[in-house]
């Protein structure tokens, strides 16, 4: 059975979008995963199918109605994790991606306007997830990022299954730098160690580079690595 993704959105035509190209697109064609975009507006009552209303307590913007969103969630609920993409959620990490990719799939709830009524978020048990400290127009692009991160880890998606083993955030490290031909480009030479053929020395160099880059650029990640080593 393929890994299944359901996206609850007001803009189903956005999917699969870029996920229909490259690695994710080939995996989609090969049946490794499947995506269904469900239009939340289909669950709105009345001729005008209103999905939002003014916020209690006043304020700018509109809020997505709990009854409409709850009906959309119920149409997809089957035990897969439900994620609500929101800037106020906890930040998505590679460990989350690995867990999701190892499961049967995911349901992604995409908000719009000022967001979704808090009652339906709590009642559904949705996991509030953020992809970074910035605000987008809606959850659709964030959902695509979550899906791309998961799909590339599914067996059969990447040509080399070992590629993910040394990527950034694996073992709480950023990845070491890469080089290819020509060995000398515009006066910039490839580090000699990479041309030595000494695989043990190359592995040690790469490990040192990964540690150095992580300490410099992501001290929070490095500290977490140190804490785990000490525990």
Q: What is the pLDDT of residues 172-204, one digit of tens each?
A: 999 999 999 999 999 999 999 999 999 999 999
Domain of 192, CATH number, reads 1.10.1270.20
- Under 8 Å between Cβ of 63 and 109: no
Looking at the predicted structure, is the pLDDT value of residue 161 above 80? no
Output phi, psi for 91, to 5 deg.
Answer: -70, 135
Domain check: are 186 and 147 in the same one? no
* 168 to 29, 210, 221: CA distances (angstroms): 27, 9, 11
Domain check: are 175 and 97 in the same one? no
Residue 157 lies in a domain: no
Between CA 137 and CA 108 the distance in angstroms is 16
Predicted local distance difference test score (pLDDT) of residue 179:
98
pTM of the model: 0.91
Residue 112 lies in domain: 3-151
For 14, the token pair is 């956005």
Q: How buried is residue 213: exposed, middle or buried, by Cβ count under 10 Å (0-12/13-18/19+)? A: middle
3-state secondary structure of 99: helix
Between CA 208 and CA 127 the distance in angstroms is 36
Domain check: are 24 and 123 in the same one? yes
Q: What is the pLDDT of residues 54-80, one digit of tens each?
A: 999 999 999 999 999 999 999 999 999
Residue found by looking up tokens 């803009």 in the block = 11
């Amino acid at each position: 059975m393929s890994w299944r993704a359901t996206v609850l959105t007001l803009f189903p035509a956005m999917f699969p979008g870029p996920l229909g190209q490259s690695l994710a697109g080939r995996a989609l064609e090969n049946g490794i995963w499947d995506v269904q975009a469900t239009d939340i507006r289909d669950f709105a009552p009345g001729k005008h199918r209103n999905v939002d209303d003014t916020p209690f307590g006043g304020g700018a913007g509109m809020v997505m109605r709990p009854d409409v969103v709850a009906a959309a969630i119920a149409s997809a609920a089957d035990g897969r994790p439900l994620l609500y993409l929101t800037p106020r959620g906890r930040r998505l990490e590679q460990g989350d991606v690995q867990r999701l990719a190892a499961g049967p799939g995911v349901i992604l709830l995409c908000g719009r306007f000022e967001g979704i009524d808090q009652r339906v978020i709590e009642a559904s048990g949705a996991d509030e997830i953020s992809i970074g400290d910035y605000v987008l127009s809606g959850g659709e692009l964030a959902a695509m990022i979550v899906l791309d991160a998961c799909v590339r880890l599914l067996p059969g998606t990447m040509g080399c299954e070992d590629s993910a083993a040394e990527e950034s955030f694996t073992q709480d490290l950023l990845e070491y730098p890469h080089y290819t031909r020509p060995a000398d480009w515009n006066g910039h030479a490839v580090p000699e160690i990479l041309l030595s053929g000494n695989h043990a020395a190359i592995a040690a160099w790469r490990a040192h580079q990964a540690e150095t880059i992580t300490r410099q650029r992501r001290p929070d990640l490095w500290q977490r690595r140190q804490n785990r080593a000490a525990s």
